[in-house]
Amino acid sequence: MVDSIKVISGWITAKSVRLHVGLVIGLLLLDAAITLQSGHFWMVAPRAALLYVLIISAIYIGRWLVQKFMVKGQWWPLLLFSLLSIVFLSTAGAFGMGYLLNLLDGADFTTIVITIPLLVTIAVLTGGVISLIRVLFKQQQAEAQALQYQKDAEIRQLTEKLSPHFLFNVLHTLYGLSINAPQQVPDLLLQLSGLLRYNVYSSNLPLVLLDEEIAHLNNYIALQRVRMHDRLALKMDVSNSNHQIKIAPLLLMTFVENAFKHARQSLSDTIKIDIELQTNAQNIYFRINNSKAEYTKQQQQHSDAKSGFGLPATIQRLNLLYPDAYTLSYGEKDNNFEVNLILSNRFE
């Protein structure tokens, strides 16, 4: 991220130099083209050169005034130095043009006195507007960079929180197996190793292939199948039509973890979990429906206080990673709990 910003800053600096050179050369070529159209080139050239110097000077004085005073909110110094600059350049230009035209008084000189200050004023304002636009652009760029740094930091913080949350749930699963089916623990430890490897390495990536995320979910579900034995009635309908689609790592895991966790609290002999994931050219569609846990009011409060982190953190990650690019709904449905998530496809 820092290297990218340095590259962008260097590009902007180089672009600024090119813009200055382009402005100076562009005005010079325009001045030269107008001068060459005259039938009296050698007579017109000195006057054209004087106008060129006046306009360039006025433009850069306008830029300096904005950067020196307007950005700092110093309005009175801005007004004073603007007037002084316009008066000085106009006076110098008028007398210079009068000298070149050999005019001491009369109507023609009056025209010069009116025209030169007008041109100088327009040039100063033009330079000021250009500088103001560039200042505002740089401020917006700095704010965008600051927001990006903050966003990256928040995502890293949330991912670091999610990893221990995930590990705690998996270890809790293995603890139950060590009591009920200890002979299965060695093989499941290998599965856990794969889960943790993905959890550690993928958390450092902004995006992973959706296929990898699906494989990770399948690995986790395999652990839960062993723990729940015949009590689990699981339906899975997972289909990814485009294997280039990417997704934020561990984004779907919280919903799957919560489904198993709360479904286990059901008093029913059968734990029902229905998972559906489909993709098309625009979106990822994810739905998970699970048996609703039966809690007393006191138990519900205890459960929420004890382990309510995963879903809020995931919603916060969605807001950071998929701003205005996701739809999430969740709640009770037909005595079960259902989550529906629609994500815009990511490929980069």
- Number of other residues whose CB lies within 10 A of the CB of residue 335: 7
3-state SS assignment for residue 233: strand
Per-residue pLDDT at 328 exceeds 90: yes
Residues 6 or more apart from 70 whose CB is under 8 A from it? 78, 128, 132
Q: Which CATH number among 3.30.9.10, 3.30.565.10, 3.90.1520.10, 3.30.430.20 corresponds to the domain 181-344?
A: 3.30.565.10
Lowest mean pLDDT among 137-141, 157-161, 264-268: 157-161
* pLDDT tens sequence across 262-312: 887 777 778 899 999 999 989 999 999 998 766 544 444 444 444 445 678
Q: What percent of the chain has pLDDT over 70?
A: 71
With contact defined as beta carbons under 8 Å apart, do 247 and 343 qualify?
A: yes
The highest-confidence range among 110-114, 208-212, 307-311, by mean pLDDT, is 208-212
Q: What percent of the chain has pLDDT over 90?
A: 11
Using 50, 70 and 90 to split pLDDT, how confident is the model at 155? low
Locate tokens 């652009």: which residue? 137
* pLDDT tens sequence across 40-91: 655 667 777 777 788 888 888 888 888 888 767 788 888 888 888 888 888 8
* pLDDT tens sequence across 28-47: 666 566 666 666 655 667 77
Using 50, 70 and 90 to split pLDDT, how confident is the model at 1? very low
Helix axes 210-228, 185-202, angle to 10 degrees: 150
In whole numbers, what is the pLDDT of the chain averaged over residues? 76
Per-residue pLDDT at 236 exceeds 80: yes
DSSP 127-188: HHHHHHHHHHHHHHHHHHHHHHHHHHHHHHHHHHHHHHHHHHHHHHHHHHHHHH-GGGHHHH
Domain boundaries, the chain: 2-144, 181-344
* pLDDT tens sequence across 336-347: 889 999 999 887
Record the pTM.
0.53
